[in-house]
Amino acid sequence: MPLRAANQAAADPVEELRSAPDQQDADGESLWAPVAVDPSRPISQTNPPRRAPHHAQTPRATAGEVERRIAEAQLWIAQRLPLLEIRAKAGESWGVSNVKTVNRYLDLARMRMVEELISDRRRHQAEQIFALNDCARRAMDAEQFSAAVGAFRVIAEIGGLLRAPIKPPEAKS
């Protein structure tokens, strides 16, 4: 048993979230067949109860579908949508109404966003500096010089030219 627990802990989060169907066709669609229930036998783990028609079983998401859902979740996070709206969109787009499942997709999307930010930090810094330069230029054109100075200060902080705060910390007595 301890070996199995170690293998489960090292599993890929996407694969764990996916709980993949055993077989997929060439397009990545699942080859899924619903489990038949024998009404003459008593209910057990090998003979689950019949489900009501409104609880129809759906196939598990394929690898491509999971990646699409994660990318969509990253977009919603980047758009700073409220959690209630994200859950509603997940229900519409994915057919997922379970809050825990939606949260798992969101956690994985956030984790990937952080990994991308860390791995591509220089490009991200350059994008921020370019955007702040544009902001400072527009502030100077509008004669809002304090805003322009603030933008240049942030540029210097991002670029590593300014390490210490401009104002010294106030002494606590």
Is residue 52's pLDDT more than 60? no
Total domains, the chain: 2
Q: Are residues 111 and 135 in the same domain?
A: no
Measuring CA to CA, how many Å separate 21 from each of 62, 67, 90, 138? 7, 15, 21, 54
pLDDT score of 121: 82
DSSP 31: -
* pLDDT confidence bin for 61, thresholds 50/70/90: confident
Q: Are residues 106 and 131 in the same domain?
A: no
Could you read off the pLDDT of 97-137 as tens digits, one per residue?
A: 889 999 999 999 999 999 888 888 888 888 889 999 999 99
Is residue 150's pLDDT more than 60? yes
Dihedral (CA of 16, 18, 22, 25) sign: negative
**Greater pLDDT, 154 or 12:** 154
Q: Are residues 111 and 151 in the same domain?
A: no
Q: Are residues 105 and 128 in the same domain?
A: no
Q: Which of 87, 102, 119 is the last residue of a domain?
A: 119
Q: Is residue 80 part of a domain?
A: yes
Q: Is residue 15 part of a domain?
A: no
Q: Is residue 127 part of a domain?
A: yes
Q: Is residue 54 part of a domain?
A: no
Q: Are residues 66 and 106 in the same domain?
A: yes
Is residue 39's pLDDT more than 70? no
Average pLDDT over residues 17-23: 57
Rounded to two decimals, what is the model's pTM? 0.49
**Greater pLDDT, 44 or 100:** 100
- CA 66 from chain center: how many Å? 11
Q: Are residues 67 and 84 in the same domain?
A: yes
Domain around 77: 60-119
Rounded to the nearest integer, the mean pLDDT of the chain is 78
